[in-house]
Structure 1
């Protein structure tokens, strides 16, 4: 016997249950701005929707508006760690609070291309971590995508850009080490080539701080996330005619690899070699010794992005490149 298909609950059902007009239900459930609806009425609508198990039809909203309530975030196939995961979580919550849904698509072999994804979803906005080809951006906008924004790009031209000044991370790292009396600094570069877009600005910040202090440019070595690779880099730094006494690591994971490599190489941290990381991931404070690092205010970063994207959607204007407030803090522990 074929079971009966349950009838979908509609906004009219919710309106009858709550004793209000259907338009009121629409205003409440769609979080329509500039509507003066009493809190009691709003609560009655939400309670009725919950009792009936009402789920708004995304397809209907898309048909009505010509776009969905989705913000599509295109991510390269990076090794996603705690820091990037925290930012995506903050962005997800921030867009949800204004009635938008963040959908993350990781590019890579064996998955549909970006064009197929945004064509199917019909997003309100597209966020990418890479510059967008002008022809591709025009195609997106012609298809109804209202906002195309590039995250963390240092280039001043092209699409709207939310520039996070990652060079300041390297600058703060090196300034901390110089203030501690170190005159020969190394830089631990990450192994995955896909991290170049983040690593290069951080390295440039270290170089700038060294030049500002009148000391030699940092000695750069690539360090994989294993103790052997880190030990080899440390032996190189310590074996130089003018030995490196402190290292700026690309991030906390690379810094923790250096701590493990120092044990293999018989080098004490921080007495023989100071190490400073970046991102302040949860395990940084659990390292032995606890890791000095640069913390990033991901919540403030997400608020800025959400605010600028929603402003562009609401006002129908292009997002201007923004100069964010200081997002970084030096967290001093025992490794440097």
Structure 2
């Protein structure tokens, strides 16, 4: 055996010597549970590490031993968002419960920065990675994370392999619509945040929940009352004007996000109508810098950011996984002042 070098070898050097990826070296040396590294490959990595005199970072303990260590958190803009930043709070709190530290990287959606960030986290010998997105969509998990314990957060793995934690869009849409039905409305419009053809899980799920709740109440689904917006106030404004100009306008509108609802408020004010006296409104997202400050305050569905963050790390730490992938977290109804019975007590 050749003499060991005086300096400490890096994980990259071990990977090169063993002829494997850095991710594979991380899996072997961190003894990551559930990895699929062949025994021959594992032995080759261990021999290379011994040959080069590699010594693991003392801060990087393994999940199997349950000791203090590091978990990586890679997000596009979640760490800098005033809303979804709460995902990081939940993840960090859950990691700390087990004496783990969360290393957070905000990539801004830059693929080159993301690749560099993942390489850096692997070099830190993280025990697993939470791969997070600002909004609920289907995404491609980077190849560099293959084999490393990974949980996709606030999005879904397009390949359907990685565990994922997302808001329950379908039940949220049902809850929003039920709130209007229970107030006595029957002519309920919906302004979505995207087209259904886009396949965006938030748009499809919220729409399907709306349609399901109508069906449960015996109310016919009327495609003329459904508008496909873009999630912005201008879309909410324009679609509300169009809906209210119909021969038989709605008495209530489910807006699939709070920004759309803001535009709906403005349109109704332009028409000389009041919320909720003339038209009731329910939103979605519970944007804390917007929903409480509309007049009246907006009844809306909250995105369970803290709970999702905690659950993602819980899964990395060996928490019992649900039967379904992705795992859906309930969106609570936050009641304020934008819902009332149809004007005059009539059924809408």
Give the TM interval when normalised to the shorter protein.
0.5 to 0.7
Paired with 1:270 and 1:284, the residues of 2 have a C-alpha distance of 15
| SS of residue paired to 2:115 | helix
Q: Is the aligned partner of 1:105 residue 2:106?
A: yes
Q: Which residue matches 1:120? A: 120
Give the structure-1-normalised TM-score.
Answer: 0.65
Paired with 2:79 and 2:237, the residues of 1 have a C-alpha distance of 22
Q: Which residue matches 1:299? A: 306
Q: 1:156 to 1:65 in 2, by over 3 A?
A: closer
Q: 1:195 to 1:155 in 2, by over 3 A?
A: closer
Paired with 1:242 and 1:60, the residues of 2 have a C-alpha distance of 68
Paired with 2:302 and 2:93, the residues of 1 have a C-alpha distance of 20
Paired with 2:194 and 2:322, the residues of 1 have a C-alpha distance of 34
User: What are structure 1's unaligned runs of at least 5 residues?
Assistant: 1-58
Q: Is the aligned partner of 1:209 residue 2:231?
A: no
Q: Which residue matches 1:281? A: 287
Q: 1:131 to 1:275 in 2, by over 3 A?
A: closer
How big is each residue's C-alpha offset from its partner over 1:278-317, in whole Å with a ceiling of 9 and x where there is no partner? 23333422220111122344433333222211117xxxx9
Aligned residue pairs total: 267
Paired with 1:269 and 1:196, the residues of 2 have a C-alpha distance of 29
Q: 1:191 to 1:323 in 2, by over 3 A?
A: closer
Structure 2 contact 258–300 (Cα < 8 Å) conserved:
yes
Paired with 1:326 and 1:72, the residues of 2 have a C-alpha distance of 22
Structure 2 contact 231–256 (Cα < 8 Å) conserved:
no
| SS of residue paired to 2:206 | helix
Paired with 2:272 and 2:127, the residues of 1 have a C-alpha distance of 55
Paired with 1:318 and 1:327, the residues of 2 have a C-alpha distance of 16
- Root mean square deviation of aligned Cα: 3.8
> 1:79: how far off?
12
Structure 2 contact 107–113 (Cα < 8 Å) conserved:
no
Q: Which residue matches 2:57? A: 60
Q: Is the aligned partner of 1:259 residue 2:265?
A: yes
Structure 1 contact 83–279 (Cα < 8 Å) conserved:
no
| SS of residue paired to 1:290 | coil
Q: Which residue matches 2:19? A: none
> 1:173: how far off?
0.5
> Per chain length, whose mean CA-contact separation is higher, i.e. which structure has more relative contact order (CA < 8 Å, sep 6+)?
2
Q: Is the aligned partner of 1:162 residue 2:159?
A: no
Q: 1:108 to 1:163 in 2, by over 3 A?
A: closer
Give the structure-2-normalised TM-score.
Answer: 0.63
Higher helix share goes to which structure?
Answer: 1
How big is each residue's C-alpha offset from its partner over 1:82-125, in whole Å with a ceiling of 9 and x where there is no partner? 4412222222332234312141333535x625333212221322
